[in-house]
Amino acid sequence: MSLRKICLPSGWYPQTADAVARFLVKISGESPSEESALAAVAPHAGWCYSGVIAAKALLSLKKDVDTVVVIGGHLPGDMRPLMAEEDAVETPLGEMPMDKEFRISLGYSLDCLPDRYADNSVEVQLPMVRYFFPEAKLLWLRLPADTYSFEAGKEIARIAEKLGRRLVVLGSTDLTHYGENYGYSPRGRGEKALAWVRDINDAGFIATVKAGNPQAILDRAEEDRSACSAGAVLGVLGFVQSVTRESGVPAAELLAYGTSAGVNPGEGEVPDSFVGYGAFCWR
């Protein structure tokens, strides 16, 4: 059996089952959620920055499923989708099996390449997926920032119906990467910069996701640099539209929002560089 080992170094998420459980039990108690969502989007920074927000996305998802599809990103529009081809993935809570039949069908349909890269956009979600879905299988997919990814989401729904799979889909993206670390500082530094990211740049992307227009989401992410993995969001939208059989995409619910600038509020000053995070779901 082939096993995809943990690639991210210590610090991204807890490294033991007990530590993962302590983190998530606390959030589950503080943030009760109606577990009815078909799909969600979560941020993918280290858990100390965005773990609470990501957990709210996971908590919203219905739990009686066979397979969890996690869609990551970090791919430009001219790339083919990437899919993990191992039989299972390693997590601090033990191995999680891949849905091999689903993977083969979808990989063939989407003409995927094997994902052999170390990338946080999927891996950082896996301890939460394993914790909240202990009996489910996994499908690991990364989609490019292209309208093609909206059609890929529809294909996920089609193959799920064909195979009789009950599944949920989790997309993965962070929002604005601001500051010197990211080469993007259009509003200088300090409180003014943070307010612009929070109230204008990230708020604009959030409104576009709620509206559910795939091309507008791509345009906003590229022009405003307000999301790093827009293809993952489009994959979720395509899936939701197909499953609900609506002419348009049902409205997204914003579950939580924050930035890494608020992680250490006692420090007083807004850091030179920070990132925005949002959690959405579709019911």
What is the CA angle 96-29-267, rounded to 5? 95
Which positions ≥6 away from 247 have C-beta within 8 Å? Answer: none
pLDDT reported for residue 31: 65
Q: Where are the beta strands (DSSP E) in the chain?
A: 3-4, 39-42, 67-72, 82-83, 88-89, 96-97, 113-114, 137-142, 167-172, 177-178, 253-259, 274-282
- The reply to whether 145 falls in a domain is yes
pLDDT reported for residue 267: 58
Give me the CATH number covering residue 206.
3.40.830.10
- The reply to whether 7 falls in a domain is no
DSSP code at position 90: -
pLDDT in tens, the chain (283 residues): 899 999 999 999 999 999 999 999 988 876 666 789 999 999 999 999 999 999 999 999 999 999 999 999 999 999 999 999 999 999 999 999 999 999 999 999 999 999 999 999 999 999 999 999 999 999 999 999 999 999 999 999 999 999 999 999 999 999 999 999 999 999 999 999 999 999 999 999 999 999 999 999 999 999 999 999 999 999 999 999 999 887 677 789 999 999 999 776 555 689 999 999 999 999 9
Tens-digit pLDDT profile for residues 95-143? 999 999 999 999 999 999 999 999 999 999 999 999 999 999 999 999 9
Q: Return d(Cα 188, Cα 238) in angstroms, integer.
A: 37
- The reply to whether 245 falls in a domain is yes
- The reply to whether 8 falls in a domain is no
DSSP code at position 124: T
pLDDT reported for residue 251: 85
| Amino acid at residue number 8 | L
Residues linked to residue 259 through DSSP beta bridges, in sequence order: 276
| Amino acid at residue number 230 | A
Tell me the residue range of the domain where 68 lies.
Answer: 13-282
Tens-digit pLDDT profile for residues 131-158? 999 999 999 999 999 999 999 999 999 9
pLDDT reported for residue 1: 85
- The reply to whether 47 falls in a domain is yes
Q: Return d(Cα 17, Cα 124) in angstroms, integer.
A: 14
- The reply to whether 6 falls in a domain is no
Total structural domains within the chain: 1
- The reply to whether 231 falls in a domain is yes
pLDDT reported for residue 268: 67
- The reply to whether 100 falls in a domain is yes
The answer to whether residues 243 and 62 touch, using CB atoms and an 8 Å cutoff, is: no
pTM for this model (two decimals): 0.95
